[in-house]
Structure 1
Amino acid sequence: MGQIIKPESLHLQAYSILKQSILDGERKPSERVVEAKVAGTLGISRGPVREAIRMLIQDGLLEYNDGFVKVYEPTVKDIIEIFQCRESLEILAIKQAIEHSNETLLEDLKKNIKETEQALDKGALLKQFDQQFHTIIINASKNNHLIQLLEMIKTKIHYMRNNMIDAPFYPTLLDEHEKIYQSIVGKNVEKATELVSIHIQRGLDGVLEHIN
């Protein structure tokens, strides 16, 4: 786990450290998070840790369960609903990204696809570039509320993939990204939304198939 740097806000540092430990799989689904123990590990008082825990509960990465704070453990129903929300929101994002499309967007996506191809046999890097591809499109929507909503969903999916799934990315991922990119180049909104829907549904199928 990370370390506290005194001059910076303690609760935000505790939040960042705890969040990263959850996303990296150091803390497993349903594992208890004890305020006093975290405070002792970080060498700070319990107040900032309590606030960090509150923020992580708001993010959905921690939850109260049986009177204890525990790491979020999504049910199959949760997973399906998260991907349903993601699909609807990313369809809106790509529509708006095409509306605001420019050379920078196309160059960023083209660069990402090239880097993804080079990382096909590197699991951690491949996850990074997959997330980056979607983030480029989402940010290009220029819709701040949409970006915030998808950031929360993206965090939960990242958590699930790191903690609940022991499988490589499906082999058609790169081809699907390429086709989505081409639909943006051609400003074909109907095709783009269809491809995004199929792409996210395939991602959900992969998660459900390989849940630990």
Structure 2
Amino acid sequence: MRIGWLALMALLFALPARADSGAVVRVDFSNPGLYPANWTLVLHPDGTGHFHADGGNKPGDESGTIFPATVDRDVTLSSDFTNHVFQAVHDNRILSGKCESHQKVAFQGTKKISYSGPDGEGGCEFNYSSTKQIQDLGESLVAVGSTLIEGARLQLLLQHDPLGLDKAMQFVVEASDDGRLQQICAIRDILERLKDDPHVMERVRKKAKILLACSGG
């Protein structure tokens, strides 16, 4: 019994130490074909962080569609996702800058992943990595950035074009199902507003409830 108690106490003391370690993962993404074209996500081990997106030109064929020109907000991601990110960035290929495959593949956006902490620092930049773990990490982080941008778009639609919410929410539901959007929990605030707003369409409110249920909200 004494051994088990000591192990538990060691674990309890270790957890806050990790959260307060000062470790940071920073992700810089750039794709001129998207709008906003650039974003940065700074993430801490406890799942808190900050997201900023701006730049680029609004697609000419969607001149009547509302897009957020700038997104700047604090974020909170799930512990499971955050732990996965911090574990993955310790891959020696990421820390030593060996991510890019240099294969001739379609441009997917430039992803620069950086890590700094008491145990060292490093990072790399890539469009496509032939290492599955690194490529999957990049795709997941891009999906999180897309989620946060869609959340900002939903807020604009609620203010300026409530009827446009129906189509936008259908996209969010479909994209969260197929993985194009991840960490829906990060936009829980706008989903809660939509769920409880009697002035938006009932279909929109139902979709918000579904997304909140899937994200643990």
Fold conserved between structures, TM > 0.5: no
Quick check: which one's helix share is greater? 1
Quick check: which one's strand share is greater? 2
Q: Which has the higher contact order (CA 8 A, sep 6+)?
A: 1
TM-score (norm 2): 0.23
